[in-house]
Structure 1
């Protein structure tokens, strides 16, 4: 992602410094490195094995000790480390993944691009009663989120259960 988008998405998490954050889409490890300097713990999951392997080596070499990486399906999140204060997604699902909402703490923020052809950067906040609030930020263009689920893409904004 462009540095401006990395900065914007990080700012939208409204971090205070003691958070546990989940990143979906490790890529090169750049976003995880940025988050590492700002929060207590970063858990980053990537579906492309060679990307997560090289990012893990890179982050370790550079001394980012509070980042844990894993190869897996980001659409499902990281349930055994949940709940998270914030979740940042660096690829665009067609719908908001329900597992990510489930793994968000009450009051937590999920920052992600949503859509197929037309994508919108959104901030999802989880309310005390488990409902969510969604706010559109700006139109964006991200790579599609890859997950093995077979479904017909939906252009709406409904949650994918």
Structure 2
């Protein structure tokens, strides 16, 4: 994998950020993080030339690296602030975790595919991002480390998992795509009281399905 981040890559990232602005991404911290994180390092070598196109690409284990617009849109909805404790469900390539780290969040990320976990928990620190990485079932979250200020789910769930709702701090919010395997609605779940949640819906997306259990190979 090419570890270089050269002026050409930086120029392509600037072009990507300009495109995200045109598509309606306004949060300056989100745009700055997308402009910083070298997305080409997260891609298989065959896709490196496509790294700064606004498209999703395969990363192995039946997973994808999300479209930059989707990453930016979810992150903008999250309204994450510096030093907030953020749980990411579905580490995948590690790109979303790196974006959150670049925004100054304290990131805890969980991945159910051992193959992806093994790769990412070594790779991210090597390129300068150090979230706390965990191998486990995202449906269960990380109860021993809860509560979290923010939770972001990067796979489509049929419903909002109860354990994740309970791990959200009062006053916190979770961004999660909810629906069947064909299409999901982007939910923002606000925990407004001990037993009181408010849900906003923000358009339709298509994610890989959120699966239970772990894949230990």
- TM-score, normalised via structure 2 length: 0.66
Q: Which runs of 5+ in 2 are unaligned?
A: 1-65
Match of 1:144 in 2: 209
Q: Provide the secondary structure at the position in 2 that maps to 1:4.
A: helix
Number of residue pairs the alignment of both structures matches: 147
Give the number of the structure whose residues are more often helix, by fraction: 2
Give the number of the structure whose residues are more often strand, by fraction: 1
Pair 1:62–1:110, CA change in 2 (3 A): same
Q: Provide the secondary structure at the position in 1 that maps to 2:109.
A: strand
Deviant stretches of 4+, over 4 Å: none
Greater relative contact order (CA < 8 Å, ≥ 6 in sequence): 1
Question: 1:103, 1:39 → 2: CA distance?
Answer: 21
Whether the 8 Å contact between 1:19 and 1:85 is mirrored in structure 2 is yes
Q: Provide the secondary structure at the position in 1 that maps to 2:193.
A: coil
Match of 1:52 in 2: 117
- 1:73-130 Cα shifts (integer Å, max 9, x gaps): 0000011110000000000111100000000001111001001133101100001242
Question: 2:105, 2:99 → 1: CA distance?
Answer: 12
Whether the 8 Å contact between 2:80 and 2:105 is mirrored in structure 1 is no
In the alignment, structure 1 residue 21 sits paired with structure 2 residue 94: no
Match of 2:18 in 1: none
- TM-score, normalised via structure 1 length: 0.88
What is the Cα-based RMSD across aligned positions, in Å? 1.0
1:133 to 198, 208, 212: 198
Report the structure number with the largest CA radius of gyration: 2
